[in-house]
Chain A
């Protein structure tokens, strides 16, 4: 008798478990379809939408942080601010800096606040509508990116230009002939030669591209070509091609605030050149030190996942 009832209990449990399993699988299938059809919570609202709901911005060095307002205010301040100087008389940008204006890496266009993001107004200041002027095919590719694309940041690869400028905390060091920007992400760095040397020839493609700098008055101008272009500009998947030419302009507007713009020109992807604006604020912690990240060692702990992800990541850029 006892053995019989145990078998019965077992049979009932197995059938119950099957039912639960089927329900779970159906729900998973349904939600997958739903996710596939919906857009990311931080996608750009359709053109003509009312302003997205975002967390309020702060103010730094006498300028509001909101990108378009910061851009206008900083342009005025840059005309009169006399920056501290290095021994060779160049503006002294040395120290640790955190980004402002672009408060999260979700989407460089306007996007609403989400459970884990502040939301932002668009960092695109030209064109005035704040929209990246994609060619139609490229706009469609951007839409598809979020669904199938895993951010190269998942693999600890270097940010290209302009993302390098609004990524993690920067440590700037200036020596005669060079500006160095060390990045508190994946132990990456950027070397900016200031000696007027020509760009690398186009057959050498680099994750950060061929980077060349020059001073125009108090502004550090950085010219970037030859990017491998296998990284995106944000999590939503805004992108450019290997054809892109990026010009960054970096000006101090207060001893603790830097004004940063990047103009991206890529006739293969965009209908016209366009410009982003954001800022840097001096890291308020005087004892701050940049330490080793071991990014890839951490990611490798989920080896199977990353191998699958790597295939997807590279796949997104293949035709």
Chain B
């Protein structure tokens, strides 16, 4: 009798363990398969991927968007530029090299000017995305905000802004933002990479899963580059409890 009860219990335990293992592995499968199936993405009331929240990059693009070795105070980093190559026109390359030489004073960041787009996207500070069906706002701890109006037209130019004029639309689950009307006063990084007022950007924001938002931007600027080029990187969700955007008012600090 006792052994029979014991055997039944043993079988039950084995079955339970097997079911448990199967259940656990079933639940682990989606997490191991990037990108997540689109059905598992968090969505807003109007069915779009929910990209609201606080995000930040984890890379060294703020220093240099291309491959670079470490120097004092600068971590080494792999390029966020696709293929690492920037197709500068000859005169533009000379200017980039000049910029690099004078970067400690010539970089607009040292004057507390707006970093511009796309540079503001990968400054080492968090930013918060507001999402509604008609408007997407990006509020940057590093001073400033981007307004992205959906399904609307660029105003009549010419206008020159550091952050340009952003108009967005959803293409399936990807937010595509067209940015134009730039000035020639912002750089891409602290290494002197630059553009002209003729720059035109197409940004693509794709939610990979709840906590990862892929950012891809195509840069066209016939005055500086011989062909369009692309960079991409993920934004990581800041998941700390009660985390909030603080402030960094560059021009308020004694220099």
Contact = CB atoms under 8 A, between A and B. Distances in A.
A226 B75 CA distance: 34
Interface string A285-304: 00001111010110010000
Nearest to A204: B246
A187 B144 contact: yes
Contacts of B165: 291
A57 interface: no
Contacts of A310: 251
Interface stretch (A43-51, A189-197, A250-258, A274-282): A189-197
B246 A157 contact: no
Contacts of B143: 187
Nearest to A300: B111
A175 B252 contact: no
A197 B52 contact: no
A184 to B, nearest CB: 11
B185 A297 contact: yes
Contacts of B145: 182, 187-189
B114 interface: yes
Interface string A223-255: 000000010000000000000000000000000
A84 B216 CA distance: 39
Size bracket, chain A contacts: 20 to 34
Size bracket, chain B contacts: 20 to 34
A294 B143 CA distance: 11
B90 to A, nearest CB: 30
B249 interface: yes
Contact of A294 (B147, B149, B162, B252): B162
A189 B247 contact: no
A208 B247 contact: yes
Nearest to B161: A292
A296 B251 contact: yes
Nearest to A303: B111
Contacts of A204: 246
A87 B44 CA distance: 12
Contacts of B249: 157-158, 207
A314 interface: yes
A157 B252 CA distance: 7
A243 to B, nearest CB: 19
Contacts of A178: 130
Interface string B216-255: 0000000000000000000000000010111101011010
A60 interface: no
A314 B251 CA distance: 12
B162 A193 contact: no
A291 B166 CA distance: 10
Interface stretch (B66-74, B132-140, B191-199): B132-140
B12 interface: no
A192 to B, nearest CB: 10
A158 B111 CA distance: 18
A138 to B, nearest CB: 23
Contacts of B163: 292
Most A-side CB within 10 Å, residue of B52, B242, B244? B244
Interface of A: 87, 155-158, 173, 175, 178, 180, 182, 187-189, 191, 193, 197-198, 200, 204, 206-208, 230, 289-292, 294, 296-297, 300, 310, 314
Given A158-B247, A294-B162, A297-B114, 17 more contacts: A155-B252, A157-B251, A187-B144, A187-B145, A191-B128, A191-B245, A206-B247, A207-B249, A289-B155, A290-B147, A291-B147, A291-B165, A292-B114, A292-B161, A294-B114, A296-B112, A297-B162
24 contacts: A87-B45, A158-B249, A173-B135, A175-B52, A175-B130, A175-B131, A178-B130, A180-B130, A180-B137, A182-B139, A187-B143, A189-B137, A189-B139, A189-B145, A191-B139, A206-B246, A206-B247, A208-B247, A230-B252, A289-B147, A289-B155, A291-B147, A296-B112, A314-B254
Question: Closest 6 interchain pairs by CB?
Answer: A292-B161, A187-B144, A197-B242, A206-B247, A189-B139, A189-B145
